């Protein structure tokens, strides 16, 4: 089986299976054009990249966990078959690539591509917490959205939501209420808005309501919308950049550490000083807000649309996981110093962390104080926004605010 990989309708390379497993090779014409590589893990080369390099990147474009199982069931494809899932799903995925079976004509498909408005009933059906329509919707439109949370992609213009036809790109990711814990919706909304109030770079996030159901509408930062249409921007998460499989995204599973991410940002972004500060503030914000699920797939790099230069992507999937008590681990996805359990992290651990990532401890202390003050002073504003947008979740939002204040108090002595 062979799949063609495209960027801006031009073939970049091919994915194929061999006795080495899933492999990738660049198209000679693409190499000659001096284009930028699809990943830091696979620089431009005439060599064939073996499964150890190709599979972590391409499997990282696909959904995980239950979302992958449901998708496999709808497609009648084994969940372990990365190639078949890519062939069925990777028409619009994270970043700027389109992946298609070699027998498909991309120009012919593009000629019949476009957008079709969603009816209110269709949108409401997609927002239902227990909806199986979402999986069928994704499969029908070849939308592959990485991660374990349920989500769909839509195009938005002038107040109207559209579904894609063919290979046209989406502009927003829609996350419905979780059927396992509805409070996750208001949790992510409040923490993302709080991050913005604390001057973290976060995407626009709003709430949509339809037929009594709610969902988060997150503007995609790997898309640029203009009068000429929507353009895809290159993006890869840090597991992809480091050739780590999604199943190994947590440090305790052998995945990346914080220092690995800082090293990538230092060595490969075009404005390392600016991006290192952004990364530091994001890591400290996760610590202060109790986000123990900030694994390597929740950090990404973006390509400049024209030059291909890399920058740290805006923060996403921010959540206070300690809000759920013993139901979720209080061990951080990536340790700070010698400890991963958030309650055991000490001044000594932050000193080790500062040394490992090559940032002065004085700078770490300064940013910690700034964020601690920013969170405390912005919480009520974030709560008010959550209560206004999600009135049905006001009690959950208030409980989350109280929990965050308690967490801040518990960690008030660290680097103070």
Give 234-411's CATH code, choosing from 1.10.287, 1.10.1070, 1.20.58, 1.10.10: 1.10.1070
The residue-averaged pLDDT of 202-210 equals 97
pLDDT 10s digits, 78-125: 988 999 999 988 889 999 999 999 999 999 999 999 999 999 999 999
pLDDT band at 141 (very low <50, low <70, confident <90, very high): confident
pLDDT band at 204 (very low <50, low <70, confident <90, very high): very high
Q: What percent of the chain has pLDDT over 70?
A: 100
Q: Would you say residue 166 has pLDDT above 80?
A: yes
Of 48-57, 64-73, 399-408, the range with the lowest mean pLDDT is 64-73
**Residue-level pLDDT at 89:** 86
Catalytic residue among 59, 260, 275, 293: 293
Q: List CB contacts of 277: < 8 A, sequence separation 6 or more.
A: 367
Q: Which whole-number Å values give the CA distances from 64 to 148, 151, 304, in the listed order?
A: 5, 12, 27
Q: Would you say residue 147 has pLDDT above 90?
A: no
pLDDT 10s digits, 218-271: 999 999 999 889 999 999 999 999 999 999 999 999 999 999 999 999 999 999
Cross-strand partners of 311: 302
pLDDT band at 196 (very low <50, low <70, confident <90, very high): very high
Of 195-209, 231-245, 268-282, 304-318, the range with the lowest mean pLDDT is 304-318
For 342, the 3-state DSSP assignment is helix
pLDDT band at 142 (very low <50, low <70, confident <90, very high): confident
Q: Would you say residue 16 has pLDDT above 90?
A: yes
Of 153-162, 326-335, 353-362, the range with the lowest mean pLDDT is 326-335
**Residue-level pLDDT at 315:** 98
pLDDT band at 144 (very low <50, low <70, confident <90, very high): confident
**Residue-level pLDDT at 369:** 97
Which residue shows structure tokens 């497609």? 75
The residue-averaged pLDDT of 208-213 equals 94
**Residue-level pLDDT at 140:** 74
Tell me what the pLDDT averaged over the chain comes to: 94
pLDDT band at 306 (very low <50, low <70, confident <90, very high): confident
293 catalytic, yes or no? yes
Q: Would you say residue 327 has pLDDT above 80?
A: no
The residue-averaged pLDDT of 32-55 equals 96
Rounded Cα–Cα distance for residues 416 and 414 (Å): 5
Which residue shows structure tokens 């089986």? 1
**Residue-level pLDDT at 211:** 93
Q: List CB contacts of 34: < 8 A, sequence separation 6 or more.
A: none
Q: Would you say residue 367 has pLDDT above 90?
A: yes
**Residue-level pLDDT at 146:** 82
**Residue-level pLDDT at 178:** 85
Indicate the Cα dihedral angle 314, 175, 3, 11, nearest 10°.
-40
Domain definitions of the chain by residue range: 2-176, 234-411
Q: Kind and range of the H or E element at 161?
A: strand 160-165
**Residue-level pLDDT at 314:** 98
Q: Would you say residue 132 has pLDDT above 90?
A: no
For 15, the 3-state DSSP assignment is strand
Neighbours of 305 (CB within 10 A): 14
**Residue-level pLDDT at 118:** 95
């Amino acid at each position: 089986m062979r799949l063609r990989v495209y960027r801006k309708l031009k073939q970049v390379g091919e994915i194929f299976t061999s006795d080495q497993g899933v492999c990738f090779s660049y198209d000679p014409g693409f190499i000659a054009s001096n284009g930028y590589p699809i990943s830091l893990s696979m620089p431009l080369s005439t060599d064939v990249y073996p499964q150890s390099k190709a599979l972590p990147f391409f499997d990282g474009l696909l959904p995980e966990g239950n979302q992958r199982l449901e998708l496999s069931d709808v497609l009648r494809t084994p969940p372990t078959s990365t190639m078949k899932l890519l062939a069925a799903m990777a028409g619009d995925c994270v970043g700027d690539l389109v992946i298609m079976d070699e027998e498909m004509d991309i120009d012919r498909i593009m000629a019949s591509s476009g957008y079709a408005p969603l009816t209110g009933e269709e949108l409401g059906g997609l927002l239902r917490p227990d909806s199986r329509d979402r999986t069928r919707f994704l499969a029908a439109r070849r939308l592959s959205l990485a991660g374990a949370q349920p989500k769909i992609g839509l195009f938005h213009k002038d107040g109207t939501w559209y579904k894609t036809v063919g290979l046209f790109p989406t502009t927003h990711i829609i996350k419905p209420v979780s059927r396992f814990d509805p409070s996750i919706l208001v949790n992510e909304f409040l923490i993302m808005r709080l991050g913005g109030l604390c001057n973290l770079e976060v995407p626009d996030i709003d709430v949509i309501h339809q037929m009594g159901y709610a969902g988060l509408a997150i503007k995609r930062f790997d898309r640029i919308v203009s009068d000429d249409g929507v353009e895809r921007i290159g993006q890869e998460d840090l597991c992809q950049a480091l050739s780590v499989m999604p199943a190994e995204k947590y440090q305790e599973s052998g995945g990346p550490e914080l220092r690995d991410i800082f090293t990538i940002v230092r060595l490969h972004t075009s404005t390392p000083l600016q991006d290192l500060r952004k990364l530091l503030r994001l890591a400290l914000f996760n610590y202060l807000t109790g986000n123990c699920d900030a694994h390597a797939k929740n950090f990404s790099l973006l390509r400049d649309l024209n030059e291909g230069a890399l920058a740290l992507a805006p923060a996403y999937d921010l959540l206070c996981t300690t809000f759920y008590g013993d139901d979720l681990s209080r061990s951080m996805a990536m340790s700070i110093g010698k400890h991963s359990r958030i309650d055991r992290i000490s001044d000594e651990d932050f000193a080790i962390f500062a040394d490992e990532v090559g940032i002065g401890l004085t700078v770490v202390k300064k940013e910690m104080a700034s964020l601690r003050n920013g969170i405390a002073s912005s919480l009520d504003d974030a709560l008010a926004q959550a209560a206004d947008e999600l009135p049905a979740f006001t009690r959950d939002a208030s409980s989350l605010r109280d929990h965050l204040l308690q967490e801040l108090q518990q960690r008030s002595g660290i680097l103070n």
